[in-house]
Structure 1
Amino acid sequence: MNDILAHDLLADILNQAKKIGADAADTILVQEISQSVSQRLGNTEAIERSEDCKLGLRVFVGNRQAAVSTTDFKKNVLNNMIERAIAMAKVAPENSYAGLADPTQIARKWPYIEMFDKTELSVDNLIERAQSAEDAALAVSGITNSEGAEARFTVSEVTMSATNGFIGAYKQSSYSLGVAVIAGTDCTMERDYDYTAKVFDEDLDKPADVGRQAGERTVRRLNPRPVKTCRVPVVIEPRAARSMLNYFASAISGLAIARGTSFLKYSMNNQLFPENIRIMDEPHRPRGFRSKPFDAEGLATSPRAVVDNGRLTSWILDLTTARQLGLDSTANAVRSTSSNPEPSVSNFYMIPGKLSPKQLINEVEQGLFITDLMGTSVNLITGDYSQAAVGYWINNGEITYPVSEITIGGHLEKMFASIVAANDLMFQYGTDCPTIRIDGLTVAGKGE
């Protein structure tokens, strides 16, 4: 659907909704093309392609709201959807904080953000990438089996319109490649993976490098040892460290703060991290996975340091939670076609420090280097933290043998306060973190 048809469709739906009883309404149209290939042991296992077009409508009747969605664009289906949404809104609970942005708040113009690569990859190209990655992984000495490789690309266009006068659209893209393999046999098997993802295809790591890294990571995990329960410094590599930022983002979400269900609810302007820690929410980052010129409520987005000099400076807010807290929205609203908006971070990352990961490790006499965190037992109401982990023991500043059957535990507020960041930040997920060191975590093991 071209831009003109998309805008006309949304305008017709809004006009019809107002005509039959909605006091206000907004719409979102998401068009997406995705193609992927999965490969295992030299054989192509699946080739998938989807071309989706989904439309969401949210209507307001007074302070009551309802959201509906459809993938069927026949006129009678759309009319029934509008009628159903209004009927639902009339019986929904009242919410005095819900509502569209005031016309003076909506974005009228926005900057160009480099976030769309029009490259559409062929099936043959995706097969070649997956095959190359898996071959490189299997070529690593000690690798005995493969869980497979997958190559994928996705391009999407989001169009939004509302009765307050907002209208806007943007396009996004993403490309990814991952492979997972197994080393050892019988009861001594270990598994690991490597993965690369970028907004622009040209930025992806080479398939052979991804495969080789997956194989080497897996072999290194062979013959793990248990460790005794102890309290030591813990160094966490980026792909696992990013989970700490996810917990922090959840704890400062307007939803949790407005409900009083966050251990950080009284922490605004408090020193939560060391003074050299800065955490950014940057919706305008070029080639960022969550870059966007405006949020799901039509407000202009802007970069902000959520943590500056270690101090918490901002919650993550949409209009509803901002009104509930008596604040202004931070333009962090997100939504699917079938849901109401809620606050969430955009490109969320910790500014890298000055030390290399090796220097962080060299300063540890006895400790743990974590490569993966599994499962979770995190209570965001109290801040209590516990998570299963795998990695390597650090002895006299050197990584030595692999360890397993361990759990790390602590309290998130104390953990945040002791973070030391390395200089190896890479953007790969949308929430990204360099290698970090946290001193004084409890490591629960089964060693004697």
Structure 2
Amino acid sequence: MTQNLDDLTSQLIDAAKRAGADAADAMALRGTSVSIDVRGGALEHAERSEATDIGLRVMIGKRQANVSASDTHPETIRTMAERAVAMAKEAPEDPYVGLADAAQLATQWDIEALELADPTPEPDPEALQADAAAAEAAALEVAGISQVQAASAGYGETQVQLAASNGFSGAYARTDRGTSCVAIAGTGAEMERDHDGDGRIFQADLRDPEEIGRSAAERALARQGAKQPPTGAYPVLFDERISSSLIGHLLGAVNGAAIARGSSWLLNALGEDVLPKGISLIEDPYRARVSGSRPFDAEGLATQRRAIVDDGTLTGWTLDLANARKLGLESTGNAARGVGGPPSPSTWNVALTQGQKTREDLIKDMGTGLLVTSMIGSTINPNTGDYSRGAAGLWIENGEITYAVNECTIAGNLRDMLRSIVPANDARGHLSRVVPSLLVEGMTLAGQ
């Protein structure tokens, strides 16, 4: 018999109190996932998993410990609580540990408005296989494609329940549906590959698998004949597919945990310009049908819409309760956690101000430089923001794409790079990180 997740978290909290905990919070997850891989038009691999995971955090004074399990029997819950309390008694004191005060807790939210779960039935494996096969077939129909390395489709549903001894209890469910394809162009030493894919909360929003397959094929063909670019200082255009990684570095630098440790290249930048004037970075956890949306954080605090960067100026850090206490600030409602560990700061949905020009306009404006479509490896100095990554893409000469590029390195300093970005207008609005293609002037390229 399937146990109610609310009952499970209540049992965990009660067991923790009986074992001697001063305070406790609990998390329960129930998930189902199905994945299908196709090769040569036939089923290659099918996998289905179902699991319920539980996690418990207990506090003894200013000491805490976490335990987790995938067994939900009463004896397991009792043993978890006893072990967690024993561990907490031996843990070092942390003056910043503690649950939220009752006045800080979220008390009402509108789950339906967020549309986090598709109400339509779970797709049959045959439907997933048909999508994967259609993507593969569409890629193979494109002249020059020698094979499809992978074509996959999948579906998942997760139920989340949070509860704490301070009285908080909340739950929501998520679904996700995806299709992907990896195409290979050429043969032997001339082979190049690229991919495309789409993932949505609602199955009806998913792109056609044929479109995904063709796009993967066209991207692979565009990479053929790649060579190293010249070494020097050139403008670099980060394609929309990978431009969010630049904003990801900024989000990591304003994470409260990094600030509290003193290990961020934006440590003393509060109130300073970190992006060009006119550009803002907005966090919005209330966007419907978007994966980063949620009504409350992992500590039971209401999430909130906020400007991380407003008109180019950094306005604040991303904080959970513990790191907010370390910094003498208030939590921004950004605590995230899994069943196996304590909360830590994380961002939800973010959107960067888009520009007026298309990607093609920026290609013409940049004259001669590099359009980056993929990157590998990274050397990022968290204290200085020095940036170096392997890159591949397309070389631009006199505002026109001339040839494919690989085996090069792009380098700069994130503080300088982000203050000089020029955004295009091509961001995909359904993503959790809505970031357009970004042009950065004067980066260092190491090629031939």
Fold match, TM over 0.5?
yes
The yes-or-no answer on 1:90 pairing with 2:89 is: yes
Deviations 1:409-430 (A, max 9, x none): 0000000001111111114653
**Aligned to 1:104, what secondary structure does the other structure show?**
helix
State which of 121, 124, 128 in structure 2 corresponds to 1:122: 124
State which of 367, 370, 375 in structure 1 corresponds to 2:369: 367
**Aligned to 1:14, what secondary structure does the other structure show?**
helix
Q: What is the percentage of aligned positions where both structures have the same residue?
A: 42
Matches within 5 A, 1:39-438: 39-112=38-111, 113-119=114-120, 120-427=122-429, 429-438=431-440
CA drift of 1:225 comes to: 2.3
8 Å Cα contact 2:276/2:311 also seen in 1:
yes
Cα separation, 2, equivalents of 1:177 and 1:428: 15
8 Å Cα contact 2:162/2:171 also seen in 1:
yes
CA drift of 1:392 comes to: 0.7
TM-score by length of 1: 0.97
Cα separation, 2, equivalents of 1:352 and 1:196: 22
Cα separation, 2, equivalents of 1:364 and 1:20: 65
**Aligned to 2:242, what secondary structure does the other structure show?**
helix
The yes-or-no answer on 1:29 pairing with 2:28 is: yes
8 Å Cα contact 1:245/1:349 also seen in 2:
no
Deviations 1:35-72 (A, max 9, x none): 11011222211111111111110000000000111111
Cα separation, 2, equivalents of 1:20 and 1:146: 56
CA RMSD of aligned residues (A): 1.3
CA drift of 1:153 comes to: 1.0
Cα separation, 1, equivalents of 2:353 and 2:168: 34
Moved more, 66-75 or 9-18: 9-18
Cα separation, 2, equivalents of 1:404 and 1:185: 17
CA drift of 1:314 comes to: 1.6
Deviations 1:373-409 (A, max 9, x none): 1111111111010001111111111112111111100
**Aligned to 1:269, what secondary structure does the other structure show?**
coil
* Matched AA of 2:338: S
Cα separation, 2, equivalents of 1:337 and 1:409: 38
TM-score by length of 2: 0.97
Unaligned runs of 5+ in 1: none
**Aligned to 2:24, what secondary structure does the other structure show?**
strand
CA drift of 1:360 comes to: 1.0
Cα separation, 1, equivalents of 2:362 and 2:278: 15
For this pair of structures, how many residues does the alignment match? 445
8 Å Cα contact 1:189/1:222 also seen in 2:
yes
Cα separation, 2, equivalents of 1:2 and 1:306: 42
Cα separation, 1, equivalents of 2:443 and 2:356: 23
CA drift of 1:114 comes to: 1.6
8 Å Cα contact 2:11/2:77 also seen in 1:
no
8 Å Cα contact 1:383/1:413 also seen in 2:
yes
8 Å Cα contact 2:15/2:77 also seen in 1:
no
* Matched AA of 2:118: D
* Matched AA of 1:114: E
**Aligned to 1:239, what secondary structure does the other structure show?**
coil
8 Å Cα contact 1:426/1:432 also seen in 2:
yes
8 Å Cα contact 1:272/1:416 also seen in 2:
yes
* Matched AA of 2:36: V
Cα separation, 2, equivalents of 1:381 and 1:38: 42
**Aligned to 1:329, what secondary structure does the other structure show?**
coil
8 Å Cα contact 1:183/1:219 also seen in 2:
yes
CA drift of 1:12 comes to: 2.5
8 Å Cα contact 1:405/1:445 also seen in 2:
yes
8 Å Cα contact 2:289/2:430 also seen in 1:
no
Cα separation, 2, equivalents of 1:381 and 1:349: 25
The yes-or-no answer on 1:7 pairing with 2:28 is: no
Cα separation, 2, equivalents of 1:52 and 1:269: 46
Deviations 1:191-216 (A, max 9, x none): 10111111111111100000000001
Cα separation, 1, equivalents of 2:285 and 2:386: 30
Moved more, 255-264 or 350-359: 350-359
Cα separation, 1, equivalents of 2:2 and 2:306: 34
* Matched AA of 1:115: L
**Aligned to 1:153, what secondary structure does the other structure show?**
strand
Deviations 1:216-248 (A, max 9, x none): 110111111222101111111111111111111
Cα separation, 2, equivalents of 1:161 and 1:2: 19
**Counterpart residue number, 1:20:** 19
* Matched AA of 2:317: W
Deviations 1:260-297 (A, max 9, x none): 00010100111011012111221111111111000000
Cα separation, 1, equivalents of 2:262 and 2:243: 26
8 Å Cα contact 1:159/1:169 also seen in 2:
yes
Cα separation, 1, equivalents of 2:315 and 2:2: 41
Cα separation, 2, equivalents of 1:414 and 1:439: 10
**Aligned to 2:243, what secondary structure does the other structure show?**
helix
Moved more, 212-221 or 348-357: 348-357
* Matched AA of 1:125: A
